[in-house]
Amino acid sequence: MNFHNASFKAAYGTSAQLPTSTQPEVSFAGRSNVGKSSLLNKLMYRKGLAKVSSTPGKTATVNFYDVDGQALVDLPGYGYAKVSKSELGRWSDLIEGYFNQDRQFALVVSLIDIRHEPSALDRHMVQFLQDAELPFAIALTKADKMSKQQAMKQLSMIRKALNTPKEVPYVVTSAEKGTGIEELRRLIADALGA
């Protein structure tokens, strides 16, 4: 699977607008300031394909990307308080609407900031993925902000806190330094059989 061959396909603001799922999808979910856009750009070898902003919570739509004929889906970041109640409601409807549809989920990459204990929303997301029996992996972001030793310590704390099944892959990543990006690309390609 050639991650260089990536393009933006479409963005949808309500779950009713989402197109029917016609192929396996790898989707990305995480808190608003977890660095999702930066990670996606790094995965797809592009600087500005996924919009990165200094204001967390910029992704307010479900964004579809085509990567070498495969579908990558960027979900709105959750848990950012500085938007109106109605906007927060629309986001959660959008995320839930996406997961409640009859879609071909190849893999859901749940992004969690490695520097902090998983938030209630992170735990809720991971619990939902387990309950729904969706294939998922955890990408721990922003590992460049700490030493390798600290990162390993945080990894084991987060793994314990989330209490996921043994087979759930955890990847320590940094969009800044490229840490874990190759491993994540392999996980994605394997999930898509590409």
Check residue 63 and give its pLDDT. Answer: 92
> Which ranges in 74-119 belong to alpha helices (H)?
85-100
Question: Is the per-residue pLDDT at 13 higher than 80?
Answer: yes
pLDDT (average), residues 158-168: 96
Are the C-beta atoms of 88 and 31 separated by less than 8 Å?
A: no
pLDDT (average), residues 183-194: 96
Check residue 152 and give its pLDDT. Answer: 97
> What would the two tokens of residue 43 be?
């995965």
Instruction: Tell me the C-alpha distance between 173 and 141, whole Å.
Output: 5
Residue 140 phi, psi dihedral angles, 5° rounding = -90, 115
pLDDT (average), residues 107-115: 97
Binned at pLDDT 50, 70 and 90, residue 127 comes out as very high
Question: Is the per-residue pLDDT at 120 higher than 80?
Answer: yes
Are the C-beta atoms of 125 and 98 separated by less than 8 Å?
A: no
Check residue 97 and give its pLDDT. Answer: 86
Check residue 117 and give its pLDDT. Answer: 95
Query: Distances from the Cα of 61 to the Cαs of 5, 8, 14, 142, 173, in angstroms?
Result: 23, 13, 8, 23, 24
Check residue 54 and give its pLDDT. Answer: 59
Give just the sign of the alpha carbon dihedral 69, 136, 170, 8.
positive
pLDDT (average), residues 135-164: 97
Check residue 53 and give its pLDDT. Answer: 59
Question: Is the per-residue pLDDT at 10 higher than 80?
Answer: yes
Location of structure tokens 């460049």:
144
Q: Which residue has the higher pLDDT, 85 or 17?
A: 17
pLDDT in tens, 19-72: 999 999 999 999 888 999 999 999 999 988 887 655 555 557 899 999 999 999
Instruction: Tell me the C-alpha distance between 188 and 89, whole Å.
Output: 30
Check residue 91 and give its pLDDT. Answer: 61
Are the C-beta atoms of 179 and 173 separated by less than 8 Å?
A: yes
Question: Is the per-residue pLDDT at 80 higher than 90?
Answer: no
pTM of the model: 0.92
The helix or strand, by DSSP H or E, that contains position 130, with its residue range, turns out to be: helix 120-131
Q: Which amino acid is at 4?
A: H
What is the crossing angle of helices 181-192 and 36-43, to 10°?
Answer: 80
Are the C-beta atoms of 33 and 56 separated by less than 8 Å?
A: yes
pLDDT (average), residues 155-166: 96
Instruction: Tell me the C-alpha distance between 56 and 118, whole Å.
Output: 18
Are the C-beta atoms of 75 and 62 separated by less than 8 Å?
A: yes
